Structure 1
Amino acid sequence: MASAPQNADLPLFYNDLVPLNSRDHANFKSRTTDKAKWLVGQHAVPLTVEEFPQAARYYPIVFSSGDQPVPLALMGLNEGVNVFVDDEGKFLQDAYVPAYARRYPFLLARLSPDAKELSLCFDPTSDLLGEGEEGAPLFDGETPAEATKGMLQFCENFEEAGARSAAFVEELKKHGLLMEGEVGIQQEGNDQPFVYRGFQMVDQAKLREVRGDVLRGWNQSGLLPLLFAHLFSLDLMREIFARQVAQGKGPVALPQVEPVA
């Protein structure tokens, strides 16, 4: 997938996880920022299928390789390159921000392997939370404040969207629609194109062979438009490549095969 966090057992962006509670974090506040530092150097960000229509306007949407594919928004084509933010994490243009990135530094997680419920946790290494005079309080006494309730609801909605995304991917796998992707991009001045692999995409040839009754069902459920949003977004790969070159972040070696996700 994308660049791994410091701890390989933790999700992308997160360096540590601590359960939020009124005992230890009674005086904590949540601060706003216009700099998403956690996006710097991250070229592939997980995406839910419900975000496809908005995300497809800005990012190529692909699926990670492996047996459990995850939808990804490509914010760059090469490892360590994000063409949408500067070195401080400030967006260089107005663009849709994936929900996965917007929930940071919060996350719903099980506190133990046998726990039945998810608990609201946060990354204690983030400067978006902490004690101080600025920010919105996370607790009103022992009661979660409105800001905390809102983030909990956002994280719960994200988990539900994640489950629907997993079902979407399973439907694609059921019909054998996912294939290993490959995109060749010709850069002026090079005889050979740069070839990007290491991701999955929908096989359009197999999509054309899907039975009519299945397609009608997908159209009624809203799945079919999501498929086309993914396919149309792939044209943006060349635009992302051009932006990498313009920012001085493009591949400078001889054309070669590059893993995308």
Structure 2
Amino acid sequence: MFVFSAGMKKPTILEEEKHKNLRLALPSDFSFLRKVVALPLGYSEIIAATMYFPVLFGVSESFIYPFAVLGIEEKNLFINDEGQFIVDVIPKCAELYPFGVAKRGNDYLVVYDERVEASDGEPVFAEDGSFTPFFTQRKEELTNYALDIDKALEFAKTAYENGLLKLIEALKIDTKHGSVVLKNVLIANAVEAIPKLSPEKLYHFNVTGYLPILYATYFSVRNFKLFDLIS
């Protein structure tokens, strides 16, 4: 099971009977992300994320997924002292916290962070067992997020199978905030690989909208330089 979420420490699958009395303390800001330096991205988020963040690809449980890098050495550079993002692009998983989705086989399950259980928190289920209005809305957002994640995985899989993602065994990043070595990540191989595609595949990648995403992620690696501009 792989969890797509905003840095959950104790992801727990939401079960109606088991969690009928569940209440959660909802965060008032994004300070829970202060030590989170990477967040997964849905398909529709990728291009917007490349404006500010380096977007790379990770491998887990035989699938490939895109993620945004937000900091170095357990320091999220994009969260200010007030617990707010300093840019106007916020990964969807951060907005969905304390919920997320977990991929198990071909299915997606709703998970929540056990750390935020609270007796005086927001109820998830009503007394009759139905979802509360709060969770009904959140459930719809989670469903849409799971669909978007699935599209991101399909995009990454297709790109990799066509040689458009390149494995980097050790990507060393040096910034004024510190250094890090990202192991076994993939980066878009757009400039080298796209010109080698057959006309048919090039047409396919164009009509699906994959080409601009590949170029955007390729150039987003330069955003590591932006880290030095953040105090």
TM-score, normalisation: structure 2: 0.78
Q: Which residue of structure 2 aligns with residue 251 of structure 1? A: none
Q: Which residue of structure 2 aligns with residue 4 of structure 1? A: none
- Secondary structure of 1:34 counterpart: coil
Q: How many residues align?
A: 221
Return the offset for 1:87.
Answer: 6.6
Distance 1:241 1:63, change over 3 A: farther
Return the offset for 1:196.
Answer: 5.3
Q: Which of residues 143, 146, 149 is equivalent to 1:159?
A: 146
Distance 1:43 1:195, change over 3 A: closer
Q: Which residue of structure 1 aligns with residue 188 of structure 2? A: 202
User: Which residue identity lines up with residue 75 of structure 1 in the other structure?
Assistant: L
Superposition misfits of 4+ residues, deviation over 6 angstroms: 8-11
Q: Following the alignment from structure 1 to structure 2, what is the Cα–Cα distance between the partners of residues 92 and 42? A: 13
- Secondary structure of 1:84 counterpart: coil
Maintained 8 Å contact 2:175/2:228 = no
Q: Which residue of structure 1 aligns with residue 53 of structure 2? A: 59
- Secondary structure of 1:17 counterpart: strand
1:123 paired to 2:104: no
**Which one has a larger percent strand, Structure 1 or Structure 2?**
2
Larger Rg: 1
List runs of 5+ in structure 1 lacking aligned partners.
1-7, 188-193, 247-261
List per-residue Cα deviations over 1:130-173 (Å, max 9, x = no partner).
Answer: 332xx654333322122111111111112211211111111112
Q: Following the alignment from structure 1 to structure 2, what is the Cα–Cα distance between the partners of residues 220 and 35? A: 37
Maintained 8 Å contact 2:9/2:113 = yes
Return the offset for 1:195.
Answer: 8.4
User: Which residue identity lines up with residue 123 of structure 1 in the other structure?
Assistant: D
Maintained 8 Å contact 1:49/1:226 = no
Maintained 8 Å contact 2:52/2:223 = yes
Maintained 8 Å contact 1:83/1:240 = yes
Q: Following the alignment from structure 2 to structure 1, what is the Cα–Cα distance between the partners of residues 138 and 95? A: 10
The 5-angstrom pairing of residues 8-87 of structure 1 reads 12-17=7-12, 19-21=14-16, 24-26=19-21, 28=23, 31-37=26-32, 39-64=33-58, 68-76=63-71, 78-86=72-80
Q: Which residue of structure 1 aligns with residue 163 of structure 2? A: 176
Q: Which residue of structure 2 aligns with residue 255 of structure 1? A: none
**Which one has a larger percent helix, Structure 1 or Structure 2?**
2
Distance 1:31 1:231, change over 3 A: same
1:96 paired to 2:89: yes
- Of all paired residues, the percent bearing the same amino acid is 19
Return the offset for 1:18.
Answer: 5.1
1:223 paired to 2:203: no
Distance 1:123 1:79, change over 3 A: same
- Secondary structure of 2:219 counterpart: helix
Root mean square deviation, CA, Å: 3.3
Distance 1:95 1:196, change over 3 A: farther
Distance 1:92 1:236, change over 3 A: same
Distance 1:44 1:108, change over 3 A: closer
Q: Following the alignment from structure 1 to structure 2, what is the Cα–Cα distance between the partners of residues 201 and 21? A: 40
Maintained 8 Å contact 2:54/2:224 = yes
